[in-house]
Structure 1
């Protein structure tokens, strides 16, 4: 057993039972001094004491060993780098001390900080809400994003169920469409068929439970036909896990819960089409070559990119990626995050970031090194992805996707080989949105920032009309 420290968890457990350190020590058969050392993380937990705690206090050892503090540390560091906090930021030791000794205080602080960011963003966009509750309320999309991020974009139970089911279905990836149709018919008595866009003009997939039938739009390409069948199978084979996860999420809104359920079933579908063990092994061996992964699993660029954000299994952790998808107007249509990178919630992401340039060269992958105002540095990979068009309108449903990771992981990703990751001038200085970006003299500025006063001089014309 590796050295394991449970100071904050043990303190919370003791306090929840209204006990002193001496009382807990007596129940566990150890000295009060040893309890004090455990709580201050000066001693690691032994197997014997762990077993005693789980037996006497009736707690699951997984809950006791779950390291929520490590998950919150990147969030806390990112928050402390916000320009609203003037002066020297706390160092890593101070932040770890706060997590060790005041984890509930840190959780409340991060909750307030999220509300602050949400309020600042809404005020900056001028949405016109009149009530304070409306301004501070977290949107369902944000709550879902936070739930996935708190889970590190990884759901072990869904992964396990998907892997077991994929093994039962068998067959190669290029035969998966037929294999899923056969499995749905034999195991669930559900038939699947393609329907013309004339007969189903407003949907890509319809599952009629009463008729035990799945109808797929003929506008779907092969990877998306497979994914939609996998989604339906998730509705049938993983509903219990999805329901439990939705019930555990801090999302009281029914519409938000329904949307979360959809995202969790989508997660299951991705795990079924790209099973963790095989996908992770090839990702590591190919240095995250997206083209190799697409070919091996017969999937799309977007499906592979999304799957790469989920590789956080204990003992088999991949590079922690984030994913952002935008339309031509810059509206965010999808975001998932396993990194400290702060993703724009509603749109208006920085034009210096080449995710926007991807629209100029469809299908071309654009690697870029970027630096945020807080000093965080990242490798990003941006490319377009075409969506199925339901109605012929003369316009393509083209979106842009950016997949990214912290620059410290760039040596593990083949696309960084041609970039100079150790030179400061190699990093493009980007922001999140103009409304809150503190960068001065940016030639792309479109808005006066809320938290920085830019100098205006009638005798001088600067790069933009927002500053002289």
Structure 2
């Protein structure tokens, strides 16, 4: 059984109530020295003490047990991968100590770093004539919410598990969803012609109580859109609570978060946690097979694989990256320490870019970040709905990556000797990558201050 440490939370609880360790010890029926050990994470908390906390202070012990600091630790480690800290990067022991003894300071540091990233993004965008307020983009704000949750939402998982009151055969899900919307919510579903729903895949007409689905959607995505709408309509109170706790003030961020939470719910309904995890382990994460088994798309199966972070039943921690043909990052999820590109494009040395040459085929790759951390990454193109014959190639590409120690659990790595695999050096993106001599560099990195040597011509014009 995994031990539970609650040091920062216990200390904050005591200070908020103005109690000494001795006073709290009397309330909990334990010794002051034991309270001290708990606050410094030198002892794990017992179930009896958890129950006493609930009884005496009204604290939900399940939330404390889940907030074990690993999400905050991952955020700190990711932030400190910024080249800004290359010369003075705290080690893991120091980071753990900061979370135990000064959790509010660590949280303030993360907020400051995110603000610095947003300000940097604004300065970079000024060259392109895009003047915006200094605030995180809606996408970045949502990514941070998911990151803090380790890409896993217990409440949404529980709601998804309770969605069906009786088992539904996979080939009957679409019809069952239409019936559910009609009978429980009084909402009809109608398939619309492309010309009647231009540029739109789904539209909910609240006045007419009607959901329109474009015929451009295939059956898999029609089903997903209906579960998504069930999430928006049936789970409104749950979504509101999660959004309130997220602390996003920007209405654009709130709207984006609501959509992504409903997407999460839909994925959890169509791909139940325990069944999906069992299938993933049995097939060594053969995502094409898994997508077929659950009647979803390859991309939807990839999304779901990143959410398998339930305590005691964890899957491989993945990061997920989706790019367009111009190299722009259009979606990202992360359950690893890998620092995903937030602004602009991903590193051009990632083979996710070259996967467009071999549509529909898995492209495996071993990569190494500037901090020497190593990952196994596999990429593949995914198709998008098509409206007109002049825009038929709407492909995007997705990349899934995990730390090198998990490569043995991934079937796509079976053809390689992990110990002797050739590592491709990559970075976050060109603007913050310290690899000065990279032959794929597209921008002068803001952290590289060495002037160009006019007497030498390197691999690029930035490496003189």
> Per the shorter chain, which TM-score range?
over 0.9
**What's 2:133 paired with?**
134
Deviations 1:395-424 (A, max 9, x none): 42111111111222111111111233223x
**What's 2:155 paired with?**
157
| Paired residue secondary structure (1:63) | helix
C-alpha change, 1:464 and 1:7, in structure 2 (3 Å) is same
TM-score by length of 1: 0.93
Distance in 1 between the 2:463 and 2:99 partners?
41
Give the conservation status (yes or no) of the 8 Å contact 2:4–2:68: no
Distance in 1 between the 2:430 and 2:368 partners?
15
C-alpha change, 1:100 and 1:205, in structure 2 (3 Å) is same
Quote how far apart the aligned CAs of 1:177 are: 1.7
| Paired residue secondary structure (2:213) | strand
User: Is 1:297 equivalent to 2:294 in the alignment?
Assistant: yes
TM-score by length of 2: 0.94
Quote how far apart the aligned CAs of 1:129 are: 8.4
Give the conservation status (yes or no) of the 8 Å contact 1:456–1:466: yes
Distance in 1 between the 2:91 and 2:455 partners?
43
Quote how far apart the aligned CAs of 1:219 are: 0.9
Give the conservation status (yes or no) of the 8 Å contact 1:140–1:251: no
Give the conservation status (yes or no) of the 8 Å contact 2:375–2:401: yes
- Structure 1, unaligned stretches of length 5 or more? none
> What is the correspondence of 1:33-112 to structure 2 with a 5 Å cutoff?
33-87=33-87, 89-112=89-112
| Range that drifts further, 327-336 or 176-185 | 176-185
| Paired residue secondary structure (1:382) | strand
Distance in 2 between the 1:394 and 1:82 partners?
39
Distance in 2 between the 1:452 and 1:286 partners?
44
Quote how far apart the aligned CAs of 1:290 are: 0.7
Give the conservation status (yes or no) of the 8 Å contact 2:75–2:147: no
Structure 1 runs (4+) deviating above 4 angstroms are: 127-131
User: Is 1:315 equivalent to 2:296 in the alignment?
Assistant: no
Deviations 1:95-126 (A, max 9, x none): 21121111111111122222223333443444
User: Is 1:451 equivalent to 2:447 in the alignment?
Assistant: yes
Give the conservation status (yes or no) of the 8 Å contact 2:182–2:188: yes
- Structure 2, unaligned stretches of length 5 or more? none
**What's 1:166 paired with?**
164
C-alpha change, 1:428 and 1:314, in structure 2 (3 Å) is same
> What is the correspondence of 1:372-387 to structure 2 with a 5 Å cutoff?
372-387=369-384
Give the conservation status (yes or no) of the 8 Å contact 2:6–2:68: no
Quote how far apart the aligned CAs of 1:301 are: 0.9
| Paired residue secondary structure (2:248) | coil
Give the conservation status (yes or no) of the 8 Å contact 1:204–1:390: no
| Paired residue secondary structure (1:211) | coil
Deviations 1:316-357 (A, max 9, x none): 211111111111111221111111111112322111101110
**What's 1:427 paired with?**
423
> What is the correspondence of 1:21-420 to structure 2 with a 5 Å cutoff?
21-87=21-87, 89-127=89-127, 134-135=133-134, 137-168=135-166, 170-420=167-417
Give the conservation status (yes or no) of the 8 Å contact 2:329–2:341: yes
In the comparison of the two structures, how many residue pairs are matched?
A: 464
Distance in 1 between the 2:383 and 2:32 partners?
63
Deviations 1:6-59 (A, max 9, x none): 222111111111122222223333332222222222333233333322222221
